[in-house]
Amino acid sequence: MSQLAGQCLCGAVTVTFEPIAPKLGACHCEMCRRWTGSAFLEIDAKPGSLKADGPVKNYTSSDWAERAWCDTCGTTLWYHLTIPGHDYYSVSAGLVDDAGGLKLETEIYIDVKPDGYAFAGDHETKTKAEVEAGFAAFVEGTKP
């Protein structure tokens, strides 16, 4: 898939990246909901492909990740896995026009999603326990 380009609300931060796969993901964890006001809709960036220019700020939100935003307008930019040896970024789909034309294919933390909304369509889902078991494996170094 070719590179995608986007920007924050005010245009101060611009990003380019190549998606790992042509798909969108959604995270319903409590941190993502507080950070974005809803589910975090994201596109996974191919390792080493994310380039950003502008006033980016980061916040370490867990033992394994940080979140970034535009320091001018506050737009959500990406979730970054900070475990050594893993170059993983989930880029906010809202930065890219029409979310890159991609389709929602994965929802995580589905069992803690608020009852007030749901995404249509048939796609993969993972529970909190399933997702956190995967993170634990990364932290312990048992997952590639």
Q: What is the pLDDT of residues 108-117, one digit of tens each?
A: 999 999 999 9
Task: Match 């993901």 to its residue by tokens.
Answer: 25
Max distance between CA atoms of the chain, in angstroms, equals 41
- Per-residue pLDDT reduced to its tens digit, 108-141: 999 999 999 999 999 999 999 999 887 766 666 5
Q: Residue range 74-101: average pLDDT?
A: 93
Cα dihedral across residues 32, 123, 129, 48: positive or negative: negative
Q: Angle 70-30-43 (CA atoms, 0-180°, nearest 5)? A: 50
Q: Residue range 16-27: average pLDDT?
A: 97
What is the pLDDT at residue 144?
A: 44
For 7, the 3-state DSSP assignment is strand
Domain at 4-140: CATH code: 2.170.150.70
For the chain, which residues make up each domain, given as ranges?
A: 4-140
User: Residue 99 to residues 58, 95, 134: CA-CA distances in angstroms?
Assistant: 23, 7, 26
For 34, the 3-state DSSP assignment is helix
What is the pLDDT at residue 115?
A: 94
**What is the average pLDDT value for the chain, to the nearest integer?**
92
Nearest in space to 71 (alpha carbons), one of 26, 138, 114, 8: 8
pLDDT at residue 58 tops 90? yes
pLDDT at residue 89 tops 80? yes
